[in-house]
């Protein structure tokens, strides 16, 4: 998702209260140190990845977890830094309204090449500092989709794995699960194969 940064006429840092004035136009409105960060509405392939992964994780999640698409997260105490990951997993007990203020266990961003700098570097640093335990970066390339998993170790992200195509991605965070990147984007019976059945890898 390409990101455009939009200045406002406010003479003060914006907070999440100002987000209520933003139009409901399908774009994603985030805040970075009190400045508005606007992303266009997602393209179809992005939405497909997000929908399939949400479906898959919901099917696997133990009852004490909640899988949420596009949750708003306040990543600092003065509410001037606000991010909206494509998907997050949190403990159900940590649910808050209108926005989350505790780090989720997992944040996922679906990242086409044009927004790689933001999600591979800027958001990586922000989620790391906020204490998001696990961060997935998904490349939705039709030819070779991939998942990169980063996990916190002593407050710093370490790249645990990068898995692409029809190779099965396996992890224990936030709970034991497996995903085949190909079936996040590919046509066919993705519900049957997305978790890495024998048929999917034969």
Give the tens place of pLDDT for each residue, 6-36.
Answer: 444 457 889 999 998 999 898 889 999 899 9
17 part of a folded domain? no
Residue 3 clears pLDDT 70, i.e. is over it: no
- Give the C-alpha separation, 67 to 90, whole Å: 7
Q: Which domain holds residue 144?
A: 42-201
49 part of a folded domain? yes
Number of structural domains (the chain) is 1
Residue 183 clears pLDDT 50, i.e. is over it: yes
The CATH code of the domain that includes 73 is 3.90.1570.10
Q: State the pTM of this model.
A: 0.87
Which neighbouring-strand residues pair with 148? 137, 162
Greatest mean pLDDT among 69-78, 128-137, 193-202: 128-137
Residue 163 clears pLDDT 90, i.e. is over it: yes
64 part of a folded domain? yes
Q: What percent of the chain has pLDDT over 70?
A: 88
Q: What percent of the chain has pLDDT over 90?
A: 73
According to the model, what pLDDT value does residue 199 have? Answer: 43
- What's the whole-number mean pLDDT along residues 36-42? 88
Give the tens place of pLDDT for each residue, 111-125.
Answer: 976 666 666 678 999
């Amino acid at each position: 998702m390409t990101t455009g940064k939009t200045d406002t006429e406010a003479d003060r840092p914006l907070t999440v209260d100002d987000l209520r004035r933003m139009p409901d136009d399908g774009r994603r409105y985030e805040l970075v140190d009190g400045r508005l960060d606007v992303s266009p509405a997602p393209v179809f392939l992005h939405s497909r990845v997000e929908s399939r992964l949400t479906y898959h994780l919901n099917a696997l999640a133990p009852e004490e977890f909640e899988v949420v698409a596009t949750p708003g997260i306040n990543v600092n105490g003065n509410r001037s830094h606000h991010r909206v990951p494509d998907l997050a997993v949190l403990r159900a007990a940590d649910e808050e309204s209108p926005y989350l203020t505790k780090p989720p266990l997992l944040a996922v961003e679906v990242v086409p090449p044009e927004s790689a700098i933001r999600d591979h570097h800027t958001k990586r640093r922000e989620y790391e500092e906020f204490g998001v335990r696990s961060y997935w970066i998904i490349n939705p390339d039709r030819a070779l989709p991939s998942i990169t998993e980063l996990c916190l170790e002593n407050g710093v992200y370490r790249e645990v794995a990068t898995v692409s195509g029809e190779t099965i991605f396996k992890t224990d965070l936030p709970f034991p699960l497996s995903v085949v990147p190909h079936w996040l984007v590919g046509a066919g019976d993705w519900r049957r194969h997305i978790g890495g059945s024998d048929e999917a890898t034969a």
